[in-house]
Amino acid sequence: MVILDGKKVSNDIKNEIADEVKKMKAKGEKVPHLAAIIVGNDGASLTYVASKVRACERVGFESTMVRLSNTTSEIELLDKIQDLNENPDIDGFIIQLPLPPQINTQKVLMAVNPDKDVDGFHPMNFGKMALDMSTFIPATPFGILELLDRYNVETKGKHTVVIGRSHIVGRPMSILMGRKGFPGNSTVTLTHSHTKNITQITSQADIIITALGHPNYLKAEMVKDDAVIIDVGITRVPDDNSPKGYIITGDVDFENVSKKASYITPVPGGVGPMTIAMLLKNTLLARERHMQ
């Protein structure tokens, strides 16, 4: 069994990006600039955005955090997005989700300039991805592809089962694993909350990608020997024995499933670190496109 070490691979990617930025600086070129809009005071969102800012510093990017209050109106947020769309200094920006209830998330994501949509959430970018055109791939699926690529995990002709159909992970992952090329060329089954006999389906899978947010959902009896397991789930589970009062748990019963798997991602330290690394990669791609 091989651990797909997202922490190590994400560090490798950040080092590669930092080298690219050094070359840009040496040529006197403008370095990539990533902005993030955060609305409200959600603790997890603030932590996540702060980690993105630190990652930008590490690779030599410029970064801007735009903090708005929880009472910000939809019109005010749309105005701020338009400012970033029109600012030539900003190469890419993200809107940290979730947004407060008074704001229509879909309307907001539609307002982002697709050329600056480094999260890959805009329908134009999603459509290009589905058509195998060059575009921004959502950061988490992009990170999973990169892990499979760097560990040379065979995907051609394999049966991939995706659990969860979110627009951020499950649905794009099902499209990407079925595309031509590597990683891809697999036969994909997309499962969700209404899927019947899910164990029958997962037990036939060569590759399982689970993005449910249900701790320890995937049990050993649901997995065949030598399957590849990608765990996107991340949930805080209360634990009195932990100094923090909780532990971070994925969708996979790691202790038991890992005994049967050929490759598996840990939680934490698997897919999570890859998401920020690939967001940086998308920002670098945006900068290169704008230069052209």
Is residue 47's pLDDT more than 90? no
Active site positions, annotated: 52, 96, 119
The predicted pLDDT at position 44 comes to 81
Nearest to 125 by CA among 292, 286, 277, 17: 286
Number of Cβ within 10 Å of residue 117's Cβ equals: 25
pLDDT per residue as tens digits for the range 145-160: 999 999 999 999 999 9
> Residues within the annotated binding site for NADP(+)?
164-166, 234
pLDDT per residue as tens digits for the range 200-226: 999 999 999 999 999 999 999 999 999
Could you tell me the two tokens for 113? 């300039």
Tell me how far apart the alpha carbons of residues 33 and 94 are, in angstroms, rounded to a whole number. Answer: 12
Residue 202 exposure: Cα atoms within 13 Å on the Cβ side: 26
pLDDT per residue as tens digits for the range 236-289: 899 999 998 999 999 999 999 999 999 999 999 999 999 999 999 999 999 999
pLDDT per residue as tens digits for the range 89-122: 999 999 999 999 999 999 999 999 999 999 999 9
* Dihedrals phi, psi of 92, to nearest 5 degrees: -155, 155
> Residues within the annotated binding site?
164-166, 234
